[in-house]
Amino acid sequence: MSVLMEVKNLKTYFNTEAGLVKAVDGVSYHINENETIGIVGESGCGKSVTQLSTIQLIATPPGRIVEGGVFFEGRDILKLEKNGQEMRSIRGGKISVIFQEPMTSLNPVMTIGRQLTEAIELHLKMTKEDAKKRAIELLDLVGIPSAKQRLSDFPHQFSGGMRQRVMIALGLSCNPRIIIADEPTTALDVTTQAQLLKLMQDVVREFKASLVIVTHNLGVVARYVERIYVMYAGRIIESGSCKDIFAHPRHPYTMGLLRAVPRLNEPKGKKLVPIVGLPPNLLNMPDTCAFLPRCPYAVEKCRQIPWPELRTLENGVHQTACHLDF
Ligand code: SF4
């Protein structure tokens, strides 16, 4: 499998009145062609900021990408001018984002048809007529009944699940190579979540694109992703194949996330165990492992030496940022 995008040592900091927040602090990962990956972690761990940084969508100030590179199609796209034509044609064209809340991403006073055709005309240079045909095909593809008629409807005329389908259609409208879905189904009920994730998986396969699912819920991604990166306090603390991570998590934080996920093969009535404590304050980060105050396995060494770097385990793929072997 060849690498489609590689993020290297990305650091995004925010200057706040209270001090410097290192929201993303040395994150590296890659996405292969035709692959689905999951970026998982609690709210505030830096997973969304990482994704927004890769397409230069961080508001400056207060945010700033201070280091790192994002290599896509043979060059570092962080070196492109943020609002220049090249970066704009990558953002929304070759790399598209599906956000959690469609009502804030869709224009409430523009019909769905216009929003779709505008994006298609801009990025694919199609005529109005062809763009309209394409918009109908896309709405059909994402399961919106009577697609042709619905082109003239406004976002508020769709249900939550249908709006998210429209967002997926919009995300696909420019034949992207990478789709970033940031908590794409969080606001929806469990059945609609499953339908939409399956739909995303199917259309991404059909389009031969790659998909990045960003979520706080490890359970959500289990059936859809090939590899997982787990983030904590602005860093990746474990990565590996979905199978390895579910079968044998190697970092206590990932173990905690898994214990909080219901599993079908466990006895009925088994209690889910939340991770105790709160994520660290990014304004006041310790030198030692950031998970230390919440870690049930911490030993003296964890209190003495700095936060470990990611290390590769025996299978050559799985990585953990923990001093201990599990
Ligand atoms: Fe827990 Fe120590 Fe591993 Fe951190 S390094 S996760 S404190 S065992």
pLDDT digits (tens, 9 = 90+) for 135-161: 999 898 888 999 999 999 999 999 988
For 110-145, the DSSP string reads S-HHHHHHHHHHHHH---HHHHHHHHHHHHHHTT-T
291 pocket-lining for ligand 1 (C-beta < 6 Å): yes
Whether the per-residue pLDDT at 87 is higher than 90: the answer is yes
Site to probe by mutation for ligand 1, drawn from 302, 319, 320 as the one with most ligand atoms within 8 Å of Cβ, is 302
| Closest atom of ligand 1 to CA, residue 237 | 6
Identify which of 313, 324, 326 to mutate to test ligand 1's pocket (most ligand atoms within 8 A of the CB).
324
Which of 257, 289, 305 has most ligand 1 atoms within 8 Å of its beta carbon, as the pocket-test mutant?
Answer: 289
42 and 82 Cβ atoms separated by less than 8 Å:
no
Full set of structural domains in the chain with CATH: 3-34+45-84+215-320 (3.40.50.300)
Q: Give the range with max mean pLDDT: 63-77, 96-110, 173-187, 270-284.
A: 63-77
d(CA 6, ligand 1 centre) in Å = 27
At residue 202 the predicted structure's pLDDT band, cuts being 50, 70 and 90, is confident
* Phi and psi at residue 182, to the nearest 5°: -95, 105
Residue corresponding to tokens 């996330």: 257
pLDDT bin (cut points 50, 70, 90) of residue 265 is: low
295 in contact with ligand 1, CB cutoff 6 A: yes
Q: For the chain, how far is it from start to end, CA to CA, in angstroms?
A: 29
pLDDT band for 201, please (50, 70, 90 cuts): confident
Q: What is the pLDDT of residues 271-289, one digit of tens each?
A: 778 888 889 999 989 899 9
Binned at pLDDT 50, 70 and 90, residue 132 comes out as: very high
pTM, entire model: 0.92
322 pocket-lining for ligand 1 (C-beta < 6 Å)? yes
Q: How would residue 50 be classed by pLDDT, with cut points 50, 70 and 90?
A: very high
Atom of ligand 1 nearest to the CA of 308: 5
- Could you tell me the strand order of the sheet in which 319-320 lies? 95-98, 178-182, 210-215, 36-40, 227-232, 235-241, 319-320, 311-312
Confidence (pLDDT) at 125: 84
Taking each helix axis as running N to C, give the angle between helix 190-206 and helix 160-172, from 0 to 180 degrees, rounded to the nearest 10: 20
Q: pLDDT band at residue 207, thresholds of 50, 70 and 90?
A: confident
Take atom 3 of ligand 1 and give the residue whose Cα is closest.
322
Q: What percent of the chain has pLDDT over 90?
A: 67
Average pLDDT estimate for 33-40: 96
b/e map 146-174, b = 16+ CB within 10 Å = ebeebbebebeebeebbbbbbbbbbbbbb
User: Whole-number mean pLDDT of the chain?
Assistant: 91
Helix/strand/coil for 71: strand
Can you name the residues that pair with 228 across neighbouring β-strands?
Answer: 38, 240
CA of 289, closest atom in ligand 1: 4
Look up residue 163 and give its two tokens.
Answer: 């709006």
